[in-house]
């Protein structure tokens, strides 16, 4: 297979040996971010479709995710970094009950490379932990990721909790993850939080929204 198809295939097949060599080769032709966005994420999309239609079993999905993570880790040092720093602090977490973190970690990389301090709490984080971290780090925003449909319900509860703690005036919220839709966030979730709630389709929209929030 040609290089970029082979790389995409590696994600789908969860094939790690030789990954780094292929990525190094790919880097001579395309920037790191383009490799992630156009090639690796296309592979993850196929994994999702195969899994969703019952053609792929969970252990293989896990292998694909591990190859994806290794690929991103290998590419990260090659990503463009802006000179700006100190643009603000965001606490980032995957919500309670949800283990998916590839997207969240991409958001971390993109924001960190573009001048933000990111406090990445990891997966399965209850709102109490997220809010303690936000207070401790004087965060300017909270970012929540979730890929399961049940995570959208958790996000709603989290926003209600934030509202009842009176955080709306000072803590804007950024939401993302495959289970969400723009209309669910903008219509249903915005209603439960008196502060700013924004939906980011991908990590770059997350960056644009953070820039807009901090402006
Ligand atoms: Co899971 N899984 N999974 N899974 N998994 C999904 C989400 C699913 C859609 C697959 C499917 O059925 N087609 C489905 C959810 C269905 C539903 O809820 N209705 C599903 C399921 C069912 C499950 C389990 C329940 C399976 C089981 O155990 N029977 C289980 C859940 C465990 C749990 O969470 N409690 C499970 C487990 C796993 C693995 C552990 C095997 C693995 C995760 C490994 C890991 O993350 N470390 C996994 C994977 C890999 C997937 C799919 C195939 C791929 C997810 C991914 O990494 N995509 C996924 C299929 C899909 O999403 N369609 C699926 C790439 C990633 C870059 O995309 O995270 O969406 P994403 O991030 C994007 C944007 O959404 C956005 O930016 C990124 C791009 O730039 N974004 C943000 C994300 N977060 C953001 C936050 C922001 C801003 C933007 O600001 C804060």
Query: Could you tell me the pLDDT band of residue 215, with boundaries at 50, 70 and 90?
Result: confident
Ligand 1 centre to CA of 100 (Å) is 5
- What is the pLDDT of the chain when averaged over all its residues? 96
Distance 80 CA to ligand 1 centre (A): 26
Band (pLDDT 50/70/90 cuts) for residue 180 is very high
Of 178, 197, 204, 206, which is best to mutate to test ligand 1, by the most ligand atoms within 8 angstroms of its C-beta?
Answer: 178
Residues 6+ apart with CB under 8 A from 153: none
Q: What is the pLDDT of residue 179?
A: 93
- Give dist(CA 97, CA 119) in Å, integer: 19
Q: Which of 48, 67, 104 to mutate to test the pocket of ligand 1 (most atoms within 8 A of CB)?
A: 48
- pLDDT above 90 for 165: yes
Q: Give the mean pLDDT of 55-66.
A: 97
In this prediction, residue 9 carries a pLDDT of: 98
Please state the rounded mean pLDDT for residues 163-174: 95
Q: Is the pLDDT of residue 65 over 90?
A: yes
| 147 CA from centroid of ligand 1 (Å) | 5
Catalytic residue list: 98, 100, 151
Average pLDDT rounded to a whole number, residues 53-78: 97
Pocket lining for ligand 1, CB < 6 angstroms: 41, 44, 47-48, 51-52, 58, 61-62, 65, 92, 97-104, 106-107, 143-145, 147-149, 174-179, 200, 202-203, 206
Give 123's pLDDT tier (boundaries 50, 70, 90): very high
pLDDT band at 127 (very low <50, low <70, confident <90, very high): very high
Question: Which ipTM value was assigned to this complex?
Answer: 0.98
pLDDT recorded at residue 23: 98
pLDDT at site 85: 83
Give pLDDT tens digits for 6-17: 999 999 999 999
Assess contact for 11 and 71: CB atoms under 8 A: yes
The predicted pLDDT at position 187 comes to 92
Nearest ligand 1 atom, CA 204: 80
């Amino acid at each position: 297979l040609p290089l970029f198809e082979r790389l995409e295939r590696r994600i789908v097949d969860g094939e790690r040996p030789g990954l780094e060599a292929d990525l190094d080769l790919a880097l001579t032709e395309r920037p790191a971010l383009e490799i992630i966005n156009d090639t690796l994420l296309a592979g993850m999309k196929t994994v999702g479709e195969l899994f969703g239609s019952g053609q792929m079993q969970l252990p293989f999905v896990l292998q694909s995710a591990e190859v994806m993570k290794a690929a991103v880790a290998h590419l990260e040092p090659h990503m463009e970094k802006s000179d700006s720093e100190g643009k603000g602090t965001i606490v980032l977490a995957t919500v309670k009950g949800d283990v998916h973190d590839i997207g969240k970690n991409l958001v971390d990389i993109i924001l960190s490379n573009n001048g933000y301090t990111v406090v990445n709490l990891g997966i399965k984080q209850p709102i109490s932990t997220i809010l303690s971290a936000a207070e401790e780090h004087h965060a300017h925003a909270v970012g929540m990721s979730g890929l399961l449909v049940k995570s959208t319900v958790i996000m709603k509860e989290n926003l209600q909790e934030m509202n009842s703690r009176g955080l709306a005036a000072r803590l804007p919220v950024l939401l993302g993850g495959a289970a969400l839709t723009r209309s669910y966030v903008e219509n249903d979730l915005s209603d439960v939080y008196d502060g700013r709630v924004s939906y980011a389709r991908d990590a770059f929209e997350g960056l644009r929204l953070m820039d807009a929030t901090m402006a």
